[in-house]
Amino acid sequence: MHNKFLKGITVAMLCFTIYSGMAQRINQTEINEGIDNYIGSYHEAFSYVGDYGSGQDWNQTTRRLVSYNVDNQVSEFYQQDYIAGKWENNMKYEYSYGSKAKASSVAIYTWFDEAWTLYINKIYNYNVQGLLTENITQKLKNGTITNNSRINITYNAFGNILEYTQQLWGDNEWMNTQRYVYVYDDNQQMLSFTIQNMDYYDWKNNRVDNYKYDNSGRLTEKESSVWQNDSWQIQSKEGYEYDKWNRQTGLWAYLWIDNNWINDYRHIITYNTQNLVQKFRIMKWSTEQLSFNDYSSTEYKYNSYSNITETLSKLNQNGELTNQFISKLNYDEEGRFVNYEKFKWQANNWVNDIKFQYNYAFVSVDELSPRPNISSMSFPNPFAESTTISFKLDKQSPVFLRVFDVSGNEVAVLETNTLQAGDYNYPFSANDLRSGTYFYQLTVGNNVVYKPITIID
């Protein structure tokens, strides 16, 4: 199933990553999906909430619209809210792409005073292998898009993350706040994952997870410690179980209390004849009864293509597992996800809770969502010596065209006049600027376009 929304639901429902109450380790797949979070394979999607009064009616709440460029990449993503019987604009995402079809920037707008206002800009840079090395987030502050946060990522020769560093913008420079440090064995299996926080000018340990594997390379144990009194103090441990087909069938979790391992909870995973998860069960340890008792369970059903069609979630209430939610997923003849309905157990009946409906037919965003009449581009991009920034005006408007570096410093002013309707082209020379990513900000009236340009050696 290629739909990212469904994939997110599936991962969340299976819950294979154990929540520890702390930040979890990050992998490259998660990074890429974070960037593509709002990119779907649908053209239109609707969200609904249940009417708890009758328990039967669906009420429309949001609509998401997607438009594509000539390379079939998402170029714009709109979100609208259903208010007083009509659709009202809420948010808009504009995507720009660089080499290897990677997103180079995402501009996020909010609908304010009958116009789109840029309030977040995200910038992505990659290494020659196409791995994300830098993610800069800029936010609207005092009327200007200003640096806010940055993530820097380094990798080893095998493409595994070595360091993941988070920074905040302050006093006109980037300031370290937190980093994750990864260590691997010769087989590129993770041996440890350490979280460190910046304390003035030094990195201070916070938490570490240490991993062990069996001869087959399967993860068998994760031990977690926190940094206290200038040393690592053991906090918890997880042990993993597998069957003869190398499927994970269980997990045991322990807490380190008074120099002893104390049971905390366990997971039990069973599979169907299709080799798919049939039931995911969580049990918690009772110190009074000295036994594991059911806490929750989730059961899954699939179609012949191994797509999830139903999930049933139960939670322990008054000593027994009781219905909580049931979800139903439907697909079209091409196997594309088209419908998701979630119902909650209320007064011994299933009542409507949340619904998502996807439409793959083409939808004209221009007709459904007003937007600034600004079309702009730069060519060539990337460039070594010069590029041309082009845009078109549908009517006479005040125009400001400026270029900034990634630190928000203005490096060029190309236009600051009221222009007539028409096509305009402005050359921009690299001059003595260093190679790297820059941005041109095109302001037409109350509307702003913010796009990256890249200078190469």
State the Cα torsion 355-361-362-365 to the nearest 10°: -20
Residue 161, token pair as written in the block: 């993350």
Q: What is the pLDDT of residue 38?
A: 47
**pLDDT tens profile 125-174:** 888 888 999 999 999 888 788 899 999 999 999 999 999 999 999 888 89
Q: How many Å apart are CA 72 and CA 57, to the nearest integer?
A: 36
Place of tokens 């974070």: 34
Residue 154, token pair as written in the block: 């380094």
Task: Indicate the pLDDT class of residue 431, thresholds 50, 70 and 90.
Answer: confident
Q: What is the pLDDT of residue 39?
A: 45
Task: Name the average pLDDT for the chain.
Answer: 84
User: Is 354 or 45 the better-scoring residue by pLDDT?
Assistant: 354
* Alpha helix stretches (DSSP H) within 40-89: none
Q: Which DSSP helix (H) or strand (E) runs through 29? A: helix 28-35
Place of tokens 């979100």: 79
User: Is 128 or 311 the better-scoring residue by pLDDT?
Assistant: 311
> Has this prediction a pTM greater than 0.95?
no
User: Is 274 or 378 the better-scoring residue by pLDDT?
Assistant: 274
Is the model's pLDDT at 104 over the cut of 50? Answer: yes
Q: Identify the structural domains of the chain with CATH numbers, from first to last.
A: 4-365 (no CATH), 372-455 (2.60.40.1930)
Pick from 121-125, 344-348, 373-377: least confident: 373-377
Q: What is the pLDDT of residue 13?
A: 34
Task: Indicate the pLDDT class of residue 4, thresholds 50, 70 and 90.
Answer: very low
Residue 40 carries which side chain, given as an amino acid letter? G
Q: How many Å apart are CA 72 and CA 186, to the nearest integer?
A: 40
Is the model's pLDDT at 439 over the cut of 90? Answer: no
Nearest to 389 by CA among 420, 438, 428: 428
Residue 253, token pair as written in the block: 């979790």
Q: What is the pLDDT of residue 116?
A: 82
Is the model's pLDDT at 379 over the cut of 70? Answer: yes
Q: What is the pLDDT of residue 368?
A: 42
Is the model's pLDDT at 29 over the cut of 80? Answer: no
**pLDDT tens profile 226-257:** 999 999 999 999 999 999 999 999 999 999 99
Residue range 82-103: average pLDDT? Answer: 83
Q: What is the pLDDT of residue 205?
A: 97
Sheet holding 410-419, edge to edge: 410-419, 397-405, 436-444, 447-455
Burial grade of 346 (CB within 10 A; 0-12, 13-18, 19 or more): middle
User: Is 295 or 46 the better-scoring residue by pLDDT?
Assistant: 295
As a whole-number percent, the residues of the chain with pLDDT over 90 amount to 46
Place of tokens 């460029």: 69
432 contacts 411 by C-beta, under 8 angstroms: no
Q: Nearest 5 degrees, angle CA 342-CA 249-CA 280?
A: 15
Nearest to 395 by CA among 364, 379, 373, 370: 373
Task: Indicate the pLDDT class of residue 2, thresholds 50, 70 and 90.
Answer: very low
Q: What is the pLDDT of residue 69?
A: 75
Q: How many Å apart are CA 300 and CA 316, to the nearest integer?
A: 18
Is the model's pLDDT at 222 over the cut of 90? Answer: yes
222 contacts 209 by C-beta, under 8 angstroms: yes
Q: Nearest 5 degrees, angle CA 91-CA 94-CA 99?
A: 155
314 CB contacts (<8 Å, ≥6 apart)?
296, 297, 298, 321, 322, 323, 324
Q: What is the pLDDT of residue 56?
A: 64
Is the model's pLDDT at 11 over the cut of 50? Answer: no
Place of tokens 């708890």: 52
Q: What is the pLDDT of residue 448?
A: 75
Coil, helix or strand at residue 18? coil
Is the model's pLDDT at 7 over the cut of 50? Answer: no
> Could you write out the DSSP letters of every residue in 153-182?
EEE-TTS-EEEEEEEEEETTEEEEEEEEEE
Q: Which DSSP helix (H) or strand (E) runs through 303? A: none
Residue 357, token pair as written in the block: 């409906």
As a whole-number percent, the residues of the chain with pLDDT over 70 amount to 86
92 CB contacts (<8 Å, ≥6 apart)?
76, 77, 78, 79, 108, 109, 110, 111, 116, 369, 371
Query: How remote is the C-alpha of 384 from its chain's centroid?
Result: 33
Which residues, listed in sequence order, are joined to residue 434 by a DSSP beta bridge? Answer: none
- Rounded to whole angstroms, the maximal C-alpha distance in the chain is 81
For 60, other C-beta atoms within 10 Å of its C-beta total: 15
For 37, other C-beta atoms within 10 Å of its C-beta total: 14
> Could you write out the DSSP letters of every residue in 329-376?
EEE-TTS-EEEEEEEEEETTEEEEEEEEEEE-S---HHHHS----EEE
State the Cα torsion 48-76-335-16 to the nearest 10°: -70
